[in-house]
Amino acid sequence: MTNPPGTTTDAIREVRTATQLRDAMVQSLVKFGAAEDPRVVAAFRAVPRHLAMPEVDVTKAYDAEFAAVTKTDPTGVDISSVSAPRVQAMQIEQAQIEPGMNVLEVGSGGPNAAYLAEMVGKEGRVVTMDIDSDVTDRARTFLTATGYENVTVLTADAENGARHHAPFDRIVVTVQAADIPPAWITQLKDGGRLVVPLRMRGLTRTVAFVRDGERLVSDGFDLCGFVPMQGIGENRVQLAVLHDVEGEEVALRLDGHPEPDTRALAEALVMPRATAWSGVTLGGMESNEHLDLWLTTALDNLPLMAAKPGARKRGLVASASPLGVPTLVDGGTFAYRTVRATDAEDRFELGAIGHGPHGQQLAKRLVAEIQIWDREHRGDRARIEVDPAGTPDDRLPAGRHIERRHTRVTITWP
């Protein structure tokens, strides 16, 4: 077979390798349930995502769990990335996109806009926007190179949406948001779907909302992690540092939680541990995302504890997670969720570790809520509702209310 003019053996080999890796990525997405809709599967099989991240090894670019960081701020915080394929597929499944739709993507990068373009087809339209011109330049370059002509790239703060291109059937947000700007609701058709990584008391879930008049009502959510929103809507968590030795840092992530007594908590950190166990177990592959959402619904002062691996290695903490560990705080005492292996293969018992003068008492309190979740809510999914700020209490459902600038977010359980 004669090679096309202008091609080289290396170039052909690279295309074949990328195609094979893309097929393997898609098989992984299907296997783990991230991509179920045949049209989503086809979209992920069609887009050469590696071209959006030429600095990344092609094998890595097609790792279903790999998110490519494309920009950091002066402090080293990641502010732009190409999300992992699994997360992108998960959000697109949540959005339930149909051919011919008008879709807004908040937070650009390139590949995700291409997937959305595949979903809406030639009769549809995708608008992708980002506040950072470096990001939108990369997106334009990628979309031009890959031939997606039904995508409009905008450089603007998404706080105000894209009214000249509205109304939208779907809005897909690919950055962490602590609030929902009014424009995202008013520019969404009634009955339309907004998929957004919403941060609620420190916990981030990508939530599929359906617009019902002036409010949004959840229709499912999943655990996720995204870079934070920039611009007018920026609202980052605050860190309360308890231990600052390099490589062993321990801090609490505050998201509307009371300002803690960091000195007292730092002293508590090095006090002997008090442990309480719940008798409640999880399977090795079973997520604790619904448990954690229950805990933050039920308990008032529950920030997330972030700890570097060195802190766990040294024995300062027993649990460390990139997403943070729910931690109950009361004055100079704190207790956090933990697990231990059981005699049953691949099952772990949930418990709590307490530090400070009342460590045992606080650990038992945390364990009591774990037991309530197991007894009354295991298998349930919370409902998340977003209403405009200023909505009277008597018009909100009973539950945990989270106050933001534009909205009142309510978490309720069956």
Tokens describing residue 45: 């099989």
Identify which of 218, 215, 250, 229 has the alpha carbon closest to the alpha carbon of residue 412: 218
Burial letters 351-375, b for 16+ CB under 10 A, else e: bbbbbbbbbbebbbbbbebbeebbe
- Annotated catalytic residue, options 80, 81, 83, 278: 83
Residue with tokens 């809406």: 120
Identify which of 194, 243, 20 has the alpha carbon closest to the alpha carbon of residue 91: 194
Phi, psi angles (nearest 5°) of residue 360: -65, -45
* Alpha carbon distances (Å) from 330 to 97, 265, 292, 389: 45, 9, 18, 29
Largest CA distance in the chain: 78
Q: Indicate the helix (H) or strand (E) that contains 205.
A: strand 203-212
* 3-class secondary-structure state, position 115: helix
Question: CB of 83 within 8 A of CB of 174?
Answer: yes
Identify whether 83 is a catalytic site residue: yes
Residue with tokens 């309720």: 412
Identify which of 25, 39, 197, 30 has the alpha carbon closest to the alpha carbon of residue 117: 39
| Active centre residues (catalytic) | 83
